[in-house]
Amino acid sequence: MSLYAESSAVLAWLLDEDAARTVLELLTAEQLIIASDLTLIECDRALHRAVVLGELTEADAADRRAHLATVSSHWTLLRIGPEVVERARQPFPGLPIRTLDAIHLASLLIARSAIPGLALLSLDARVRDTAAQLGIELRPA
């Protein structure tokens, strides 16, 4: 199976949250990981915020950024291009979703049109709910 890695899951791994081990196992088990530029942007922003809030030292954040760069160098990154923007502007089923979530879901749908069976790796309840309504398999299950 191939996975689209959404920011909430990648951040759980980077910030060593409760689901970190599960996320890492899923990320390393699959041969094809797809992510949006947005995933990397959100991860970097979260690390910068953690430093400013005193939750991480600058050295810790730099180590985590380097680790993310190493791991994500093996991923296929999707650009936030016109096709993603156009789809993100359209409605999604279920609860209203936030703008960045719409960009992730649009990226996932576009990638899925080229990669049948692409599953979503996310810990965000709204993103997962919307993806499930779109018929997308979720990880963790």
- CATH of residue 65's domain is 3.40.50.1010
Q: Is the pLDDT of residue 95 over 90?
A: no
Tokens standing for residue 109:
């749908």
* 101-124 residue pLDDT tens: 999 999 999 999 999 999 999 999
The count of structural domains within the chain is 1
- Report residue 88's pLDDT band, with 50, 70 and 90 as the boundaries: very high
Residue 1's pLDDT is 81
Domain limits for position 74 = 3-139
pTM, two decimal places = 0.94
Instruction: Please name the residues in contact with 4: beta carbons below 8 A apart, sequence gap of 6 or more.
Output: 33, 34, 35, 104, 107, 108, 111, 112, 118, 119, 120, 121
* 131-141 residue pLDDT tens: 999 999 999 98
